[in-house]
Structure 1
Amino acid sequence: MPEGHSVHRIARQFDRNFVGQQVEASSPQGRFVEGATLISGRTATEVKAVGKQMFLEFDEELWLRVHLGMYGAWDFAGEIVVDPTIASANGRMGQTNQRGTVLPDEPVLDAAGENSMTSIGAPRRARVHVRMSEQTRGLRDEGAQWPPPVVGQVRLRLLTDLTCADLRGPTACRLQTPDEMLATIAGLGPDPLAGDPAEGEERFTAVVRRKPTPIGLLLMDQSVVSGIGNVYRAELLFRARQNPHTPGRDVPEQIVRGLWRDWVRLLSIGVETGQMMTMDDLDPDEYRKAMASRDDRHWVYHRAGLPCRVCGTAIVVEEAAARKLYWCPRCQA
């Protein structure tokens, strides 16, 4: 499931490529025909991401709410203007940096041959029609079909003169009034990038400190905090050396606040790099490996049975609310 950093990256691409543009909408799959008809011909006016959900406004106060869920994805084609706050032309990170890490000058490619800093949303193979441009729109590949052919089950296609976005497999894709949109957001926990982080810290701390639910489950509860998924949950708890089974109300306040502040930091890094980078103090070679491979960028996630990077104890994996929970039984005892 895409975690919060991916949704914020996608929202920023919509802001640069769709907001202010008249949009043609269709539902090739046929499951959103009525909604697409209402959107088509309107101008996109605003986009916001809160946690794992994106809200795209069209004129006359019509909002499109999209929750990608476990299997949803946006595929972009055409001429894409890369958000310069995410990456610079040479693929380097901007102001957000890993503590103690010296960044390489050249782009780092992952196993799929992709530079995640200039990818859209969650790292994925670039579509053949996508042309990346940081400041200006380039020309589409000469001879490429436009609009691009529909591939697979596309719930919603949004199309401007230059850019195409195809939505596949979302958990939610529906239109909302402004009041409905605000009610949806009101039911979500704080997101560091969708409000005042200091206010979010107070809200998060107050909720966690009164809950008997294990902290490992609270971090995945989108009504408690927005955007954290399985990867960030495991890594945040390890970085705090916090046992995931401790009831929220029993976690010391300074640890709860530390979890929030670490989430603020890791989310910003994730948005900027396109990767859920959770390890600090990497030298340039280690950083390259971490950017290229998930196996080298996490402390405990997806490392069941492997030795803890700190103490050498085998990392444990167990089921928690139907999701895999990775943790070190010694460091997080």
Structure 2
Amino acid sequence: MPEGDAIHRIANTFSVLFQGSQVETSSPQGRFASSAQLINHHKVVAVRAVGKHMFVGFMPAEAAASCAEEAKAAEAEFAAHLGSPEAEAALPFTGSSPLWGEHAFPCDEELQWLHIHLGLYGSWRFDADERAFDVPSSIGAPRTNWVATKGHRHAALKWASYADDTLYVEDNLASGNIQKRGQEWNAPDPVGQVRLRVLSEHAVADVTGPNRCELISDEDRRVIESKLGCDPLQPGAAQDSATRRRFIEMIRGRKRPIGELLMDQSIAAGVGNIYRAEALFLAGISPMRAGNRLSVQRVGHLWDIVCELMIRGLEIGRIDTIRPEDQPDPIPEGDEELARWYIYHRSGRPCIKCGTTISEKLMQNRRLFWCSNCQN
């Protein structure tokens, strides 16, 4: 199952490709046909990722135009509240602020949300005019290039417009790249059982095999988000003392093993099996230790590590948790996992820190890895 960083990358790619565009929606498979028709030719006005859930806001083009100023003003107010007023001018209306989880969107009576949860087997496939968008065709977790600007992360994807017979291409790092229009871009045919296809003039996105694919209201979205726990990848979450304190209180208020609690999406939204194993190892915490038997300091340190690992995964486009200073050179033959992880999928092999054999067991039907010496 894709972990939270993959869903945030998908949402970012979707936002760059379709944000503000009027799109065609269809269901090649047929299972989502009636719902796809309801948002066909609507405009994509917002894209959100919370934990392992993705929400795409659709609105009739006429309503979106009249709502644009109200929405931008509201998001600017939220940005200022978050202590990042530069976002007022720099960022488009994306619905990315964590405060949207608590409040209704502007013009919410006109808004319909596409709610996607990929589950174990779902994936997204993207394709775009390569002259306009520097994004490869991707399955499940598309990789995009990122650049840090004033504490924000932006996808380094190109922007393009047509004038006469010339395609003007500009990315957000450099400009002046001009290419001839040439042959028109055509979307590839759907591959596999595509539940939903979203198509614009220059890009297409197909989702297959999702656990949930549904149209919901803004009120429904808020209910779903209210049941999710702390998401380390929400803007400012890693630095927010209230979010950190909430995570600590939820962990320490329960008697269940921390290995279970860290995978509970009502506590830590977006954390999956790899991040659980690696974060607990780096924090030196046994996955079997009860949450209420951990100190405030240890749980707070665990939160900091989870944030660090997931932010890094989001930025580099894959889950690589091992720090350069800990990585052996060369990687031992037959232990290729050590190129990326400390203990995940390394059962029966020596711990890189102490040499103890890495243990494995099932916890809630998921494989659990830990070092019995380093973690207590």
Question: If the length of structure 1 is used for normalisation, what is the TM-score?
Answer: 0.80
SS of 2:367's partner is: strand
Q: Residue 316 and residue 288 in structure 1: after superposition, are their counterparts in 2 closer, same or farther (change >3 A)?
A: closer
Q: Residue 298 and residue 194 in structure 1: after superposition, are their counterparts in 2 closer, same or farther (change >3 A)?
A: same
Q: How far did 1:281 drift?
A: 3.5
Q: How far did 1:51 drift?
A: 0.7
Whether the aligned pair in 1 keeps the contact of 2:331 and 2:339 (CA below 8 Å) is no
Unaligned runs of at least 5 residues, structure 2: 60-109, 136-142, 150-154, 158-168
Q: Decide which structure has greater helix share.
A: 2
Query: What are the residue-to-residue correspondences of 1:48-59 with 2, within 5 Å?
Result: 48-59=48-59
Whether the aligned pair in 2 keeps the contact of 1:79 and 1:140 (CA below 8 Å) is no
Q: Residue 160 and residue 262 in structure 1: after superposition, are their counterparts in 2 closer, same or farther (change >3 A)?
A: same
- Could you say which residue in structure 2 is the equivalent of 1:252? 295
What CA distance in whole angstroms lies between the structure 1 residues aligned with 2:222 and 2:184?
A: 41
What CA distance in whole angstroms lies between the structure 2 residues aligned with 1:156 and 1:143?
A: 27
Tell me the amino acid that sits aligned with residue 11 of structure 1: A
Q: Residue 30 and residue 287 in structure 1: after superposition, are their counterparts in 2 closer, same or farther (change >3 A)?
A: farther
Whether the aligned pair in 2 keeps the contact of 1:86 and 1:271 (CA below 8 Å) is no
What CA distance in whole angstroms lies between the structure 2 residues aligned with 1:294 and 1:315?
A: 13
Residue 67 of structure 1, aligned match among 112, 117, 123? 117
Whether the aligned pair in 2 keeps the contact of 1:79 and 1:138 (CA below 8 Å) is no
- Could you say which residue in structure 2 is the equivalent of 1:172? 212
Q: How far did 1:39 drift?
A: 1.3
Stretches of 4+ aligned residues off by more than 3 angstroms: 80-83, 132-145, 281-289
Whether the aligned pair in 2 keeps the contact of 1:26 and 1:33 (CA below 8 Å) is yes
- Could you say which residue in structure 2 is the equivalent of 1:209? 252
Tell me the amino acid that sits aligned with residue 27 of structure 1: S
Of 237-246 and 186-195, more deviation after overlay is shown by 186-195
Residue 189 of structure 1, aligned match among 229, 244, 252? 229
Unaligned runs of at least 5 residues, structure 1: 96-116, 120-131
Q: How far did 1:169 drift?
A: 0.7
Q: Residue 159 and residue 30 in structure 1: after superposition, are their counterparts in 2 closer, same or farther (change >3 A)?
A: same
- Could you say which residue in structure 2 is the equivalent of 1:100? none
Q: Residue 201 and residue 186 in structure 1: after superposition, are their counterparts in 2 closer, same or farther (change >3 A)?
A: same
Aligned pairs, how many?
Answer: 293
SS of 2:357's partner is: coil
Matched, 1:41 2:41: yes
Q: How far did 1:253 drift?
A: 1.2
Q: Residue 284 and residue 310 in structure 1: after superposition, are their counterparts in 2 closer, same or farther (change >3 A)?
A: closer
What CA distance in whole angstroms lies between the structure 2 residues aligned with 1:174 and 1:261?
A: 34
Residue 87 of structure 1, aligned match among 145, 151, 169? 145
Tell me the amino acid that sits aligned with residue 180 of structure 1: D
Q: Residue 272 and residue 138 in structure 1: after superposition, are their counterparts in 2 closer, same or farther (change >3 A)?
A: farther
Q: How far did 1:14 drift?
A: 1.3
Tell me the amino acid that sits aligned with residue 11 of structure 2: A
Q: How far did 1:194 drift?
A: 2.2
Whether the aligned pair in 1 keeps the contact of 2:115 and 2:216 (CA below 8 Å) is yes
Query: What are the residue-to-residue correspondences of 1:118-137 with 2, within 5 Å?
Result: 135=172
- Could you say which residue in structure 2 is the equivalent of 1:99? none
Whether the aligned pair in 1 keeps the contact of 2:313 and 2:319 (CA below 8 Å) is yes
Tell me the amino acid that sits aligned with residue 118 of structure 2: L
What CA distance in whole angstroms lies between the structure 1 residues aligned with 2:262 and 2:367?
A: 13
What CA distance in whole angstroms lies between the structure 1 residues aligned with 2:359 and 2:232?
A: 30
Whether the aligned pair in 1 keeps the contact of 2:5 and 2:233 (CA below 8 Å) is no
Identity fraction in percent = 39
What CA distance in whole angstroms lies between the structure 2 residues aligned with 1:257 and 1:329?
A: 22
Of 273-282 and 239-248, more deviation after overlay is shown by 273-282
Q: How far did 1:42 drift?
A: 0.2
C-alpha root-mean-square deviation of aligned residues, in Å? Answer: 3.2
- Could you say which residue in structure 2 is the equivalent of 1:237? 280
Q: How far did 1:329 drift?
A: 1.1
Q: How far did 1:73 drift?
A: 0.6
Q: Residue 142 and residue 167 in structure 1: after superposition, are their counterparts in 2 closer, same or farther (change >3 A)?
A: farther
- Could you say which residue in structure 1 is the equivalent of 2:315? 272
What CA distance in whole angstroms lies between the structure 1 residues aligned with 2:372 and 2:189?
A: 51
Larger Cα-atom Rg: 2
- Could you say which residue in structure 1 is the equivalent of 2:83? none
Q: Residue 25 and residue 286 in structure 1: after superposition, are their counterparts in 2 closer, same or farther (change >3 A)?
A: farther
Q: How far did 1:214 drift?
A: 0.3
Q: Residue 63 and residue 168 in structure 1: after superposition, are their counterparts in 2 closer, same or farther (change >3 A)?
A: same
Matched, 1:23 2:26: no
Q: How far did 1:287 drift?
A: 11
What CA distance in whole angstroms lies between the structure 2 residues aligned with 1:287 and 1:142?
A: 47
Of 236-245 and 138-147, more deviation after overlay is shown by 138-147
Q: Residue 172 and residue 328 in structure 1: after superposition, are their counterparts in 2 closer, same or farther (change >3 A)?
A: same
- Could you say which residue in structure 2 is the equivalent of 1:103? none
Residue 270 of structure 2, aligned match among 210, 213, 227? 227
Matched, 1:302 2:345: yes
Q: How far did 1:192 drift?
A: 2.4
